[in-house]
Amino acid sequence: MSSDQPSPGSGEPPDDDRFRKGPQPPPADGSGGAWGGGTPPPPPPGGAGGPYGGGQGGGPYSGAPGGGSPYGGGPGGGPYGGDPYGSGSGVDPLAGMPPLANRGKRLLARIIDGLLIAIPVGVIMSLIVGGYDPTDPDDTGRSATVQGTVMLVYFIYEGLMLSNSGQTVGKKLMNIRVALLENGGIPAGSVGWIRAAVYTLPEFVPCCGFIFWLVNVLNCTWDKPYQQCLHDKAAKTVVVAVT
């Protein structure tokens, strides 16, 4: 492991992190671009803002009239409210990052990781608690013990892998990676654990854990523009292709 790996909890990628957002070239009009200075261009006539908000009729990313982009400050500040990153720029946080991962690859990565954990842990736990029939009411306790242990091991596995490199075994095989929405860095420290917890731990709730899990994983199919599941939104991460 490289010595320049970010310390847990820092959330900042090392200087040579190839997944970190690259610098954005300034626009031809000299306004300074997404991150630079310079004088911004004047607003269009009639008070209409640009494509990222501001003014009435502020384009596809504006909120209420006079609101900013979904990541900018002010009223109508988007799904996260205000500007969670303090940039105040209203710039797409994915700028300079690799493309978003294919949903099919994300599903295959989950299946690989699930089998990788469920098969060996399930076999070992079955040997410990003895054989059981999941359909037999008398074996409900042993079945729940095995399934609970599998989910707990999966949570620990995913939390460790994501906070270390942003990839599980399945994600490495599918050439995809979890990245911080803010800057494309590795979700080190608590961020990786939060993401793993929101994905796994609700399944321990007997009444509605599966329903939450189903809504969670399906959310990326209709979420725009970042294709985030609920665990991505909780951790402020996205899944990107490794290029």
Taking only the tens place, the pLDDT of each residue in 222-241 is: 999 999 999 999 999 999 99
| DSSP secondary structure letters along 94-143 | TTTSPPBPPHHHHHHHHHHHHHHHHHHHHHHHHHHH----TT-GGGHHHH
What type of residue sits at position 3?
Answer: S
pLDDT digits (tens, 9 = 90+) for 61-81: 344 444 443 333 334 443 333
Look at strands 237-241 and 176-180 and give their pairing: antiparallel
How many C-beta neighbours within 10 Å does residue 100 have? 19
- The model's pTM is 0.62
